[in-house]
Structure 1
C-alpha cells in the first residue's frame, strides 16, 4: 500500500512538472562543429531521457559480458550442488528403506557431486553398514575424525562398530573419548555407566550416574532407581567383609527404591546380624507389602537365629496376613509348615493356592505333604506328574536368561537393572489332556487298612538226619540259645498251598498226608516254640522252661556269622533224640535271623496245573554243620553247641 502511494506521488510530480514546462514554452539550440540543432524544450528533454536510458542499457550489456565466465561457473556449480543434495536425500531414503544397491549408488553420486560435504561420508558409512561391509564403514568413520565438526559423529560410528564386533575395550575407548569431547552426550554417558557396572566398579559407576543426572541425560526417577541398584550391588559385595558399610548402603538403597527386593533382603539380613531385629522386621514388612517375594519371606522367617520351628511358623503366619491371598505368602507358609510336620496347615495353604493359581512349586510341595503325612506314593506320583505340566513359577529373567538369584546387570548385554521378577517364557505349551488339578486330588485320602495275608501253615519240625546220631534241633531252639535270640519272637509265615493237593501236606513235614489248615501270618513268642520243641525237657515243667527261655530271648542275638563263643559258657549237652514240635498251627520260620541250612524242596504242582511253585525249608544243625560236612572244625562241636552253618 505504501509503495502504491509512493508510485502515484512520483507520477503526480512528473505530471505536474510536465504541465509547468508546457505553460512556459522555449527553444533549445545546439551548435557544435558547424552543426546547429534547434528544438523546443519538451522535445529536448525527451531526447535527453532516451539517451540516458540507452547508455544505461549499453553499460549493463558490457558489464554482463565481462562477468559472464564467473556467472557461468556459478551457474554450473549451483546445478551440481543441487544434483548432489538430491542424491544425498535419495541415498538417506534408500538407507532407511533397506535398499542396499540404491544406497550405494546414491552415496557414490553424492560423494562425487558434493566433495566437501560431511554428510556424504555418513551416507557412505551407513550404506556400507547396510551391506555388511564393516571395514569400509570403519574407514568412513575414521575419516570423520579428521574434521572437528564430525569427530563426535565418527566416534559414535566407531563405537557402534566395536559393539557389533564384540570389542568391548575398543568400544569403551571410543565412549571415553566422546565424553571428553562432549560430556553431555547421552549415548556416551550410558555406555560408560554400563561398562563400569559390568566390570563391578560400583564406585565409578555411581560417579558416572551423578554426572549423567547433572547434565540431565536421565530423568530423576530413573536416576534414583539406578542409584539404588548400584548401592545394592555394592552392599552385597561388602556384606561378608564390611557389614556396617554394607548396612548403610542397603539402607540408602531401600530408601531410594522401597520395592527393590534385593535391597530390602540385604538390609534385613544385616540388621538381623547386628541384633536390631525390630528394624529388620520393619524393613522386610515394608518391602513385603510393596512386592511379596520368596527372598523377603526367607529373611523374615529366619530373622532371629535359633528360633524354634513353631516360632518361625508363627512369624510366617503374620507375614502372610500382611498380603492376604498372595501366592508367595501361601507358598512360604506351606514351606515352614512342612518343615514343622504340620501337614494339615501345609495342605490347607496349598489347597487354596492350587485352586486359584497352580504352579510347579505348589505341586511339588503337595507331593511332599502326601509323602510325609500318609506315605501315599500313588498320590506323590500324581502330584509329580501335575508338576511337569504346571505353569512355571516366577523367577528373575533378563534378556531370556532365567536365574534363581538377582544380579544388578544382564549377563547378555550388560545393561543395568535388567532383571525382572516374572514368569519365564515357555518354548511350547504342553498339550491339554484334561484339567490340571482335580478336586478329588486335593482331598486327603483316608488311610487304607492293611489286609492279612492268609497262607497255609507248615510244620517246622526238622527231619532226623540219617547219617548222624546227633538229633537235629528246630529253628526256635537255635534262636532261643543264649546269645542267639534275635528279638524274643520268631516271625513265621506259611506257604500258599492249594487245599486240594495231598502231596503238599506230606512234604510239609506233618507226616499225616493231610493239607494243613490255612493260617494268617502271625508272630509267636520264641519261648513257647522252644518249650514245645527243645528235646530233653519234661512236659510237666512248662513254666520254668518258659521263664528261662523268655529271659534268654530278651538279649539281642548277633548275626550267626559274627558270633563269638563266650569263655564262661559251658557247651550244652547234645540231645540224644529229636522230638517233634506239637503246634496247633505250625508256620514256616524266616531263614534270615536264625542259623540254619536252607534247602529247596521239589517243586509243588499248581492246583490249576499251569505252573509249579518251589517250597523252601530251613534246618538248624546243633553242631553248626550238616551231618555229611566235616566243617571248618572237623567233627568237633562249636563252643556254644548250636552255631548255625549254611
Structure 2
C-alpha cells in the first residue's frame, strides 16, 4: 500500500512539473560541434525523461539476463522444497493415523527432497514411522539424534522418556525427565515426571524446589502447584514427626495454609501440637478441619487427644463434634462409639441406628453388633447385625489406583503419582444403585429386629386324649445330653436366651404331637446352629 502511494505521488509530481513548464514556454538552443540545435523547453524536458527511462529499462534487462541462472535454480529449489514439505506433512499425518506404509513412503520421499540438517522434523517422521512399525531400537536412535540437536532437544528427550516408561526402565525415564526439566522448567510433563520420582524416593526438599520452579515458569497452574506443595510438605512433616515435632508442626501448618481441606496435614499438625502440650490450638485446628470435611480420623484424634480423659469426657467431646456437624454419619458413629465406651448403651444404640438410617455401611452394622453384645449378649441378634454388615457397602478408606491403605500416603504405590490417595469407598465394595422409592436397608433391618423379651420358665406340656383305645399321654421334655451333643454344642450364654415361640398343632389319630418353630426375624436365621436329630425324639408314656 505504501509503495503504491509512493508511485502515485511520483506520477503526480511529474505531471505537475510538465504543467508548470507548459505554463512557462521558452526556447532552448544547444551548439555542439558547430551545429546549432534549437527546441522548445517542453520538448527538451520530454527527451530528458525518456532518456532516463530508457537507461533504467536497459539496466533492468542487463541485470535480469545476468542473474537468470541463479533465478532459475532458485525457482527449481523452491519448487523442490515445497514438494518436500508437502511430503513431510502427508507423512506426519499418516504416522499420526497409524498408516505405516504411507508414512514410510513419505519419509523416503522427504529425505530425497529435503536435507535432514535443514529440517529436523524429518527425524520425527522417521521415528514415528519406526514406532508404528515396531522398530523401537531405530526409533530410540532417532530420538537420541534429536536430543543432541539444541533445536529438537526437548522433543527427543520426551521420546526417550516415553520409550523408557514403556520398557519400565524407571531410572532411565527419571534421567531423561530431569534433563528436560533442567533445560526447560516450563515443560509440565518433565516437571511432573521428576516429581513422581522424587516423591517415590522421598526427596521432599528437591520436589518442593521443583514445584516452586515450575510455578514460577508457569508450567503448572497456581492452584495445582499449591496443592502439590501442600502434599509434599505434609509428607515431609509426617516423616519428621517423631524426630523433629517442631519442624513437622511448621510444615503441616504451612501445608494447611496452601490446602485448608487436606486432612493428613491437619492430623500431623494436631499430633505435633499435642506433643508440645498445646491442646487448645490442636483442638481448634481439628474443629475447623472437622467442620470442613467431617472425616472420621479427625473425630478419632479429637476425642482421644488427651490420654488421661475418662470415657465420659470423651463422650462430651464427641457430643461437641456432633453439635458442629449435626446429622453427619461420621459424627453419629463417633458419639455411638464414645457412648459404648462409657456404657451409655441406650444412647449408643440410638446414635448407631440413626447413622445406619442415613448411610448404611459395614462399619455401622458391626458397631451395632458390638452394642448388642454389650447390651443383651443375644447371639441371634448379634449374628443378625453381622449378616447385615456383610450385605452392606464397605467403609470409606484411603484408596489410590485400586489399592487401599490403612493410612494416607503422598504417592501411589502403583504408578508413583503424587496426591493419588482419596478418601472414598473402594470400588469393589460399592453396591449397585438404589432405585427410587426402594426401602432403606437399615430401616428394614431395624424394623425386622424384634424387641428383647425375657425368657419364660421351662414348662412341660402334657396333653391327654380320651379315646376308646388305651389312653396315651405325650410328654415333651428336652432330650438328655449325649457325649456327641456335648462335643458339638455351643457354650452356654452368660444370660438366658429369649424363648423361641412355639405353635402347637392338634394331634391326629395314631400320630404323636408335633411342633412348628417360627423364624426368629420372620424368616429362617442365617446360622441356626447345630442340630441333632436325637434331640427331637419324644418319649411316650402309657398311663394304663
**Structure 1 SS opposite 2:106:** helix
Between the aligned partners of 1:333 and 1:412, the Cα distance in structure 2 is 36
Please say if residues 476 and 538 of structure 2, whose CA atoms lie closer than 8 Å, have aligned partners that are also in contact: no
Between the aligned partners of 2:481 and 2:67, the Cα distance in structure 1 is 134
Q: 1:293 pairs with 288, 295, 310, which one?
A: 295
Shift of 1:199: 0.3
| Alignment match, 1:486 | none
Map 1:539-554 onto structure 2 (within 5 A).
Answer: none
1:9 paired with 2:13, answer yes
Shift of 1:50: 7.7
Q: 1:349 pairs with 332, 348, 351, which one?
A: 351
Shift of 1:183: 4.2
Please say if residues 28 and 44 of structure 1, whose CA atoms lie closer than 8 Å, have aligned partners that are also in contact: no
1:89 paired with 2:89, answer yes
TM-score, length basis structure 1: 0.63
**Structure 2 SS opposite 1:421:** strand
C-alpha spacing 1:101/1:428, structure 2 compared with 1 (3 Å): farther
- Structure 2, unmatched stretches of 5+, are 485-509, 514-532, 540-544
| Alignment match, 1:441 | 445
Map 1:157-306 onto structure 2 (within 5 A).
Answer: 157-306=159-308
Between the aligned partners of 1:53 and 1:128, the Cα distance in structure 2 is 62
C-alpha spacing 1:75/1:125, structure 2 compared with 1 (3 Å): same
**Structure 2 SS opposite 1:415:** coil
C-alpha spacing 1:203/1:319, structure 2 compared with 1 (3 Å): same
Map 1:71-110 onto structure 2 (within 5 A).
Answer: 71-110=71-110
Shift of 1:325: 1.4
| Alignment match, 1:155 | 157
Shift of 1:79: 0.5
**Structure 1 SS opposite 2:198:** helix
Shift of 1:395: 2.2
Between the aligned partners of 1:171 and 1:220, the Cα distance in structure 2 is 26
More deviation, 419-428/200-209: 419-428
Between the aligned partners of 1:244 and 1:54, the Cα distance in structure 2 is 93
**Structure 2 SS opposite 1:145:** helix
**Structure 1 SS opposite 2:441:** coil
Q: Which has the higher helix share?
A: 2
Map 1:606-617 onto structure 2 (within 5 A).
Answer: 608=511
Q: Give CA-to-partner distance per residue, 1:248-301, whole Å, 9 cap, x none.
A: 433433344332111221222233334332232222212211211111111112
C-alpha spacing 1:436/1:98, structure 2 compared with 1 (3 Å): farther
More deviation, 305-314/97-106: 97-106
Between the aligned partners of 1:273 and 1:55, the Cα distance in structure 2 is 100
Please say if residues 390 and 436 of structure 1, whose CA atoms lie closer than 8 Å, have aligned partners that are also in contact: no
What RMSD over aligned residues (CA atoms) do the two structures have, in Å? 4.3
Shift of 1:329: 0.8
Please say if residues 454 and 519 of structure 1, whose CA atoms lie closer than 8 Å, have aligned partners that are also in contact: no
| Alignment match, 2:368 | 366
More deviation, 67-76/1-10: 1-10
Q: 1:335 pairs with 334, 337, 340, which one?
A: 337
Map 1:596-615 onto structure 2 (within 5 A).
Answer: 608=511
**Structure 2 SS opposite 1:396:** strand
- Structure 1, unmatched stretches of 5+, are 457-495, 501-513, 522-586, 593-606, 616-646
| Alignment match, 1:315 | 317
More deviation, 326-335/433-442: 433-442
Between the aligned partners of 1:275 and 1:406, the Cα distance in structure 2 is 25
| Alignment match, 2:525 | none
Q: Give CA-to-partner distance per residue, 1:7-27, whole Å, 9 cap, x none.
A: 133135346658978x75989
